[in-house]
Structure 1
Amino acid sequence: MASGSAPAVTGTATTTPDPGAGSRTTAWGLTGLLVLLYVVNWADKAVLGIVAQPLADELGLSASQIGLVGSAFFVTFTIGGFFAGLLDRWMPLKWSLVLLALGWAVAMLPAVVAATFAVLLVSRMVLGFAEGPSGAMIHTGVYSWHPPEKRGVPSACITAAASIAKIAIAPVLTLIVATWGWRAAFVTLAAVGVVWCLVWLPTWREGPYGKRAAPARSTTESTTQADQPTASVPWGRILRTPTFLGGVAAILPMYAVVTVVLTWLPSYFEEGLGYSRVQAGVMFGFPSIASLLMLFVLTGISDRLISRGSTSRMLRGVLPATGLLACGLSLTALPWFDVPWMAVVVVSVGYSFGASIFPLFNSAISEVVPARQLAGTLGVFLALMATGGLVGPYLTGLVVDAAATPAEGYASAFQIFGVMSVVGAVIALLTVNPERDKARLLGASATSRHAGVQE
């Protein structure tokens, strides 16, 4: 071995493939294609909120029944997320995403053919299971084209898919529903998923930072040292790191807020604040417009400062936790704003701060774990995150049904999730530290390999 010491552990990866392995144009082109799939993913989620009132009118559903459908989706969505690691081992990313996207398209159709509460419930649960692994798989594909220190902005692009779906797709779906009925919106989304597959299949290839990339080596370094960042780490150690646990504590309540917004925000604007159905559908995108601006400002600053030597502890731990705290405080104060436009502003501003946490915490997790375990780790992380969706829509429906007025019910529900977000933010502030946890995991991996050599 060379006389130099082992590579220092910082907020960036110690294994850096040849920058010429893939052009930046290709990297961002394929990132865009994966983001487009996530837009379809989020549009499939958001469509329930857009058609909630037409469905309720046609099928005679209560608010709690609509909420139950929304929460049932996230039951199977959570279960499906745990299969991301297995799916990543069973087949290449190219084919696993085709399988998932076609599954989403098929799941949209049963309710079109037989519109009953039972069919709607089961089809949304099937859709949830098929969408469960997609977040981890899409992040893994995108990260294969970007080094760890520059993953904040690509992560923001993935997170922005939710905002794009609500800003650009939701108004279109609203017009489709107003013109041709809610069934046409379901058929449209199914067709878009199939078209994406036709573009994806001849286009995709894994980037230079993926799990199949050969680690960079110097002629003076041993194989053990060069391979260290890509060596496997015991799963139990990964899932017990404070960064992983603190990240879960933060993103779980925020994801509950996201699912409440997806399922109930148009209804809140229509029934709670008195706007028309078309106005509510168009305004559905207001919080997302605000969140897009916040996403790219914060992640751009984060990537730039980390590349210049700032710590991930501050920029991918403290920064997103502070954003979640601002979101929680805003939503907690919502019942005190009874003027409609002020309530819209409070929800939009709070949501914009909260939505910024997803790309930063995902980037923090990607720093800590070896590349070959990234899909499985993100699968578990995002599946645990999705448990917020099990509670959010259904609890909101129960609160609205029990309230004296819809306006009071929706405001109270947002307040509940605001308090949960404040608690999660405090936990994350105290625990998330990617540099520290990466050093511990690499040390554990080196110790494990050394013991194996001794045997």
Structure 2
Amino acid sequence: METRARWTLVSLLFAGGMISYLDRAALSITAPLISKELNLDPAQLGIVFSSFFVGYALFCFVGGYSADRWGPKVVLSVSMLVWSLFCGLTAATVGIASLLLVRVIFGMGEGPFCANINKLVSNWYPRDQQASALGLANSGQSIGAAIAGPVVGFLALATSWRASFVIIGAVGVLWVVAWLWLAKDKPSTPIAGQEQLNAQLPEAADDGAAPAPLSTYLRRPAILATAFAFFGYAYILYFFLSWFPSYLTMAHHLSIQKMSIVSVIPWAVGVTGLVAGGYACDWLVRRTGRAIFSRKIVLITSLGAGAVCIALTGAVSELTSAVALMAVAVFFMYASFNTYFAIVLDTVEKRRVGAVGGFVHFIANLAGIVAPALTGFLVQSSGSFKSAFVLTGIIAALGALFVAIFVRAPTAELQLQPELA
């Protein structure tokens, strides 16, 4: 019965993630139409892209803290309802001021989503299955981004860009109804083997004693390094999410129709990377019995490879090569995604998982404020995307380096017994 409930939960989170990225990618897809109608130049468009993350980054932490206090079911219900309504309200904007306001509140609604996924996976899955569960639950996000091009592009051309936001916002409201009906905060019976696994990882144990102060975790070099590496991941993601469609139309002169199709390719490849990264993490844990070591191997390899590919994209001028390099970069970027939260799950007691995961996600999503705006100014000043691609690669590479140096296994790192592997 609990296994069935887990699959229901992961399926709902998968669908929710798909809706979240469909909603947030919609602005990037319709940007050529919106910027023309509202008279936005590249620098202003970059600020609009960044405004979403002003609300989003802050509420990553607020949402994680709220999940620890009130439970993820309630928090995600409110979160999805708010972001869906303000996605629809994008249709009512008449200039840059109203667009900025709607995007900030839209971001506040989406902010709690990933931290609450982390909390739910912590509640429902044993440690040697958590990275895989995170991979499956979060893979909906890259699928949402992949289908955003053709879906939103078709809706915008068939109706108008304003109508497309109303339609996709309504889908989120339907998800809230299903979530309230089917979701539960935690299983009714303990997870098999979880108590023994927790006993082998004292730092993440939930033994009934008062939890350590939140600040204790937030000051740890391993948590700060993981947060900065996640910032590097997010810089690639938000550079790509915000500017790749405009890059295709501005640098390669693709029409809206062709851009909508070509933009699917990297996201579709990214789905594979996200799921594969989660399974690779858990496979390494079972093979080595060393949780943090396994997460680090996948994170450093994947984020480093993604950094190289994204930097190289700026050096090519041919469309096929650029799209191929971006697809490989997105594959490796997503392969690292589960490792950041998995490190939190491996080192933080369950009662602090939501808040610490939300803090790490908050730091990461500051990249959403920086990357779109900085890219806009670089493109405006240079007339080219080359420097933006190179900068993105450098930031991601530094994140991988910080994890290699500062993330260390706790004294009593998770050691899985063969019968639990």
* Fold in common (TM above 0.5): yes
Aligned partner of 1:233 in structure 2 is: 212
User: Structure 1 residues 272, 366: CA separation in 2 closer, same or farther (over 3 Å shift)?
Assistant: same
Residue in structure 2 matching 1:426, options 401, 411, 415: 401
* Match of residue 372, structure 1, among 321, 327, 351: 351
User: Deviations 1:261-317 (Å, cap 9, x if unpaired)?
Assistant: 111111111211222211111222211222222222232122123134432233201
| Partner in structure 1 of residue 316 of structure 2 | 337
1:75 aligns with 2:50: no
CA distance in 2, matches of 1:154, 1:226: 20
* Distance in 2, Cα, partners of 1:310 & 1:379: 27
Counterpart pick for 2:184 among 202, 205, 208: 205
Partner of residue 34, structure 2 = 55
Give the counterpart letter for 2:95 in structure 1: T
CA deviations over 1:200-228 (Å, ceiling 9, x no partner)? 11111133499999x859xxxxxxx9853
Q: Do the aligned partners of 2:306 and 2:331 also contact (CA within 8 Å) in 1? A: yes
CA distance in 1, matches of 2:412, 2:215: 13
CA-based RMSD of the aligned residues comes to 2.5
Q: In structure 2, do the counterparts of structure 1 residues 400 and 371 end up closer, same or farther at CA, with 3 Å as the change threshold?
A: same
Would the alpha carbon gap of residues 421 and 191 (structure 1) be closer, same or farther in structure 2, given more than 3 Å must change? same
1:105 paired with 2:84, answer: yes
Aligned residue identity for 1:425? A
Residue in 1 that maps onto 2:45: 66
Would the alpha carbon gap of residues 69 and 253 (structure 1) be closer, same or farther in structure 2, given more than 3 Å must change? Answer: same
For normalisation by structure 2, the TM-score amounts to 0.90
What residue identity is the alignment partner of 2:178? Answer: V
Query: 2 CA distance for matches of 1:391 and 1:349?
Result: 23
3-state DSSP of counterpart to 2:353: helix
CA deviation digits over 1:13-34, x for unaligned, max 9?
xxxxxxxxx5322211211101
Whether the 8 Å contact between 1:34 and 1:142 is mirrored in structure 2 is no
In structure 1, what is the Cα distance between the partners aligned to 2:311 and 2:64? 37
Q: Distance in 1 between matches of 2:209 and 2:25?
A: 37
Instruction: Choose which of 225, 229, 238 in structure 2 pairs with 1:250.
Output: 229
Conserved? CA contact 1:331–1:414, under 8 Å: yes
Could you list the per-position Cα deviations for residues 337-371 of structure 1 after superposition, in whole angstroms to 9, with x for gaps in the alignment? 11111111111111211222111121111111111
Point out the more displaced range, 368-377 or 85-94.
Answer: 85-94
Say if 2:307 and 2:329, in contact at 8 Å, map to a contact too.
yes
| Paired residue type of 1:428 | V
Residue 78 of structure 1, CA deviation: 1.2
Flag the 1:212–1:414 CA change in 2: closer, same or farther, 3 A: same
The C-alpha deviation readout for 1:84-115, integer Å capped at 9, x for no partner, is 24422553322221111111122123332242
User: Which residue is 1:11 aligned to?
Assistant: none
Instruction: State the distance in 2 between where 1:233 and 1:108 align.
Output: 38
CA deviation string 1:29-83 (max 9, x = no partner) = 2111012112222222111101110001111110111110111111111111221
- Residue by residue, what CA displacement relative to the aligned partner does 1:180-206 show, whole Å, maximum 9, x if unpaired? 111122101210111001111111113
Note the residue ranges of structure 1 that are not aligned, 5 or more in a row: 1-21, 218-224, 440-455
Change over 3 Å in CA distance of 1:229–1:177 after alignment to 2: farther
Q: How is 1:407-446 mapped onto 2 (pairs within 5 angstroms)? A: 409-436=384-411
Judging changes above 3 Å, is the alpha-carbon distance between structure 1 residues 283 and 434 closer, same or farther for their aligned structure 2 residues? farther
Describe the shift of the 1:437–1:343 C-alpha distance in structure 2 as closer, same or farther (beyond 3 A).
Answer: farther
Match of 1:387 among 366, 369, 392: 366
Q: 2: CA distance between counterparts of 1:165 and 1:361?
A: 21
Structure 2: how far apart are the matches of 1:85 and 1:264?
28
- SS of 1:125's partner is helix
Q: Which residue of 2 aligns with 1:222?
A: none
From the superposition, tell whether residues 370 and 423 of structure 1 become closer, same or farther in structure 2 (CA, over 3 Å): same
* CA positional deviation for 1:147: 1.0
2:382 aligns with 403
Q: Which residue of 1 aligns with 2:278?
A: 299
Partner of 2:243: 264
| Contact 2:124/2:191, CA 8 A, preserved across alignment | no
Say if 2:298 and 2:335, in contact at 8 Å, map to a contact too: no
Task: Determine helix, strand or coil for the equivalent of 1:50.
Answer: helix
- What is the identity percentage for the equivalent residue pairs of Structure 1 and Structure 2? 25
Q: Distance in 2 between matches of 1:138 and 1:119?
A: 31
Q: Distance in 2 between matches of 1:195 and 1:311?
A: 42
Q: How far apart are the structure 2 equivalents of 1:242 and 1:96?
A: 29
Letter in 2 for 1:31: V
Residue equivalent to 1:276? 255
SS of 1:151's equivalent?
helix
Does the CA contact (< 8 Å) of 2:311 and 2:389 recur in 1? yes
In structure 2, C-alpha distance between the alignment counterparts of 1:109 and 1:234, rounded to whole Å? 40
Q: Distance in 2 between matches of 1:124 and 1:212?
A: 40
Which of these residues, 293, 298, 306, is aligned with residue 319 of structure 1?
A: 298
Q: 1:307 and 1:264 mapped to 2: Cα distance?
A: 39
Conserved? CA contact 1:71–1:391, under 8 Å: yes
The one-letter code matched in structure 1 to 2:47 is: L
Q: Which structure: larger Rg?
A: 1
Are the aligned partners of 2:80 and 2:173 in contact in 1 as well (CA < 8 Å)?
yes
Partner of 2:418: none
Relative distance call for 1:208 and 1:230 in structure 2 (3 A) is farther
Residues 36, 210 of structure 1: alpha-carbon distance in 2 compared, 3 angstrom cutoff: farther
Q: Is the 8 A contact 1:101 1:193 kept in 2?
A: yes
CA distance in structure 1 between the partners assigned to 2:287 and 2:36 by the alignment: 56
Which residue matches 2:201?
none
The amino acid across from 2:400 in the alignment is A
TM-score, structure 1 normalization: 0.84
How far does residue 435 in structure 1 lie from its aligned partner after superposition?
4.2
What letter corresponds to residue 301 of structure 1 in structure 2? A
Structure 2 residues not aligned, in runs of 5+: 197-203, 415-421
Paired residue for 1:14? Answer: none
